[in-house]
């Protein structure tokens, strides 16, 4: 799952409005930030197998530290604790929302991944495998993104004239990116996939921050 992860990020802004949207965008992809770094370091492993599933060419055969259940919970707790320090009030709520946003990544991956999410060490792997059918997984991702954007727009109204336009242009652009990822060529190498992912996550986080700022919803 890629853009579907951002649905919970958008929706979570309504729970603790002091949290900047860019931080929530980083939170929901934090497991993959760490995964990309570990792939580049040769610690976690992935194979590029064109046609592995309809929606993804990634055979994610070894990623116990970032996508194992225990590792995901630990990364969620650490990120929640660190991220909550940037707000001045409601830090306990900020911790809970950020940690839940991080762990939402694992839960959504569980739905679409093949059985590659280990429960203990690198064993007892789970995954419902909806990536086998792109006509199911792709609409699911788009629906999650749009639902999150609707919640965000309603719960955190724009204070500027063009705020909602910017939000929906951003959402549409993410949809285009998802379509390219689904139907475009597979990555050339694991390192190329990791670098592309890191770049995409950083760019989308930056743009989310601009959307938040442009709507006049950024608070201290």
80 belongs to a structural domain: yes
Quick check: is 219 in a domain? no
pLDDT at 203 over 70: yes
- 100: how many CB neighbours lie within 10 A of its CB? 17
Q: Domain of 169? A: 3-214
What whole-number distance in Å separates Cα of residue 215 and Cα of residue 142? Answer: 22
Report residue 1's pLDDT band, with 50, 70 and 90 as the boundaries.
confident
b/e for 198-210, b at 16 or more Cβ within 10 A?
Answer: bebbeebbebbbe
In a domain, 220, yes or no: no
**Residue 25, helix vs strand vs coil:** helix
- Burial status of residue 109 (CB atoms within 10 A of its CB: 0-12, 13-18, 19 or more): buried
pLDDT at 219 over 60: no
The answer on pLDDT for 89 being more than 60 is: yes
- Give CA–CA dist 18/13, Å, rounded: 8
37 inside domain = yes
What's the CA gap between 137 and 131, in Å, rounded? 6
pLDDT given at position 218: 65
In a domain, 101, yes or no: yes
* Residues making up the chain, counted from first to last: 220
Those residues whose C-beta lies under 8 Å from the C-beta of residue 125, and which sit 6 or more positions away, are: 115, 116, 117, 118, 119
Q: Provide the pLDDT for residue 160.
A: 85
63 found inside a domain: yes
pLDDT of residue 42: 96
Tally of domains in the chain: 1
pLDDT in tens, 29-77: 999 999 999 999 999 999 999 999 999 999 999 999 999 999 999 999 9
The token pair that represents 154 in the structure block: 């309603």
Query: 45-64 burial by CB neighbour count: b if 16+ within 10 A, else e?
Result: ebeeeeebbbbbbbbbebbb
> For residue 186, is it within any domain?
yes
* pTM, full prediction: 0.95
* More confident call, 163 vs 102: 102
Reported as a single tens digit per residue, the pLDDT across 127-185 is 999 999 999 999 999 999 999 999 999 998 898 888 899 999 999 999 999 998 889 89
Residue-level pLDDT at 220: 44
């Amino acid at each position: 799952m890629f853009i579907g992860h951002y649905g919970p990020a958008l929706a979570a802004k309504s729970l603790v409005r002091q949290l900047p949207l860019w931080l929530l965008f980083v939170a929901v992809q934090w497991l993959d930030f760490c995964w990309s770094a570990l792939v580049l370091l040769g610690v976690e492993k992935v194979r590029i197998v064109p046609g592995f599933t309809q929606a993804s060419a990634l055979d994610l055969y070894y990623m116990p530290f970032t996508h194992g259940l225990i590792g995901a919970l630990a990364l969620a707790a650490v990120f929640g604790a660190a991220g909550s320090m940037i707000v001045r009030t409601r830090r306990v709520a900020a911790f809970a929302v950020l940690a839940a946003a991080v762990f939402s990544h694992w839960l959504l991956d569980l739905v679409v991944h093949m059985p590659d999410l280990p429960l203990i060490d690198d064993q007892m792997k789970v995954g419902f495998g909806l990536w086998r059918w792109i006509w199911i997984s792709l609409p699911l991702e788009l629906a999650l993104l749009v639902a999150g954007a609707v919640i965000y727009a309603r719960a955190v109204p724009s204070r500027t004239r063009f705020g909602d336009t910017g939000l929906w242009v951003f959402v549409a652009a993410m949809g285009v990116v998802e379509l390219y990822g689904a139907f475009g060529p597979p990555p050339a190498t694991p390192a190329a996939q990791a670098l592309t992912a890191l770049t995409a996550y950083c760019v989308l986080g930056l743009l989310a921050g601009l959307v938040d700022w442009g709507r006049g919803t950024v608070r201290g």
